[in-house]
Structure 1
């Protein structure tokens, strides 16, 4: 298991961030760290993505990845900026192979047995399950985990405080991605104090879910 994947497993939560202005990256990173979650997935949905990744990665105390990566060229830009993992909404051989070339963790989207087998053929051990909420949710992951026992999942999409426990209770789930602790409008408004509060609450909720799962398994 890579160090990056181990760090994501330890965090259990991956904030999915959309940044419109790279100047917000540093205070956002500080807010996440202050909230107890030194992890971020910065999506390549805006021109500020690469500079934002660089600003966050340069801190040296965060695991920073690039999300919504669709091309091998974007992989190059993300890695050059300091991303240690790359997340894609779907499974692209070109993107996965470029990640392998750079030695960074690839987390492509896969929600069917066919897509998962294709991911396994590319040497992957973990996939993104996206969009989780409209692809069967936690029950679908639990069902897929049965025949693919060595695979782990990072579900994203439609996950929040109300259903977080459902996903974290599944042993095959390495971490859960979500944006509820880093809403785009709060970032744009510079309300980083609220983001720290939301992050702290999310971390506490994940810890509660972990404890409940551990007790149930005894």
Structure 2
């Protein structure tokens, strides 16, 4: 899903920064720091305080593609879409959420884990499938095995994704990778270390791009 694409046929690509905070609202400096590091796709999880406000503000930025995460109900989907979310990310596959998003013309990345769940989400209309929690079941090794029979499904590994994983996921042809605390950590946000966040974002972007180059070579 590029910044120019907002239709249900678009696909999430590259590093997706997951903003998941428990005690504070997302500072606009988070988005700026991530952008400065080359990360243009951001998922603000709905349980984060002030999540809808952040989505509303950031969605007006032309270089930024902002979506809502942890979307579990139609009410969640409606609120996120009304706030300007350009895509939705769910932890599971909920047909009613897919239907609501489809009616609004908003792509959905559905959460799934097993091959059966992944294929079901894809056939239900998911734009891409978030394989979650990927690190708990073997990381890149698991994704490689899953992609063998499901090579037509855009996969977005999420859950415990680290900097060391990025190049492998890019090389095997994943659509992107969702990165949470390893990128936007609570301690960096609390201490307002925006330069360090930009540095992290740059490292994740570089690792992803390196993997893509090796795949295409």
Q: Does TM-score exceed 0.5, indicating one fold? A: yes
Which TM-score applies when normalising by structure 2?
0.89
Gaps of 5+ in 1: none
Which TM-score applies when normalising by structure 1?
0.88
Q: Secondary structure at the match of 1:33?
A: helix
Correspondence for 1:8: 12
Gaps of 5+ in 2: none
Aligned length: 211
Call closer, same or farther: CA 1:165–1:78 in 2, change over 3 Å: same
Deviations 1:123-167 (A, max 9, x none): 235211000101332222222222223211001011111222221
Structure 1 residue 56 displacement after superposition: 1.2
Deviations 1:19-62 (A, max 9, x none): 444461x2111111111112211111223111111121122320
Correspondence for 2:176: 175
CA contact (8 A) 1:7 1:63 kept: no
**Equivalent of 2:49, from 17, 27, 47?**
47
Call closer, same or farther: CA 1:7–1:189 in 2, change over 3 Å: farther
Following the alignment from structure 1 to structure 2, what is the Cα–Cα distance between the partners of residues 97 and 141? 27
Q: Secondary structure at the match of 1:91?
A: coil
Following the alignment from structure 1 to structure 2, what is the Cα–Cα distance between the partners of residues 46 and 163? 26
Following the alignment from structure 2 to structure 1, what is the Cα–Cα distance between the partners of residues 209 and 123? 34
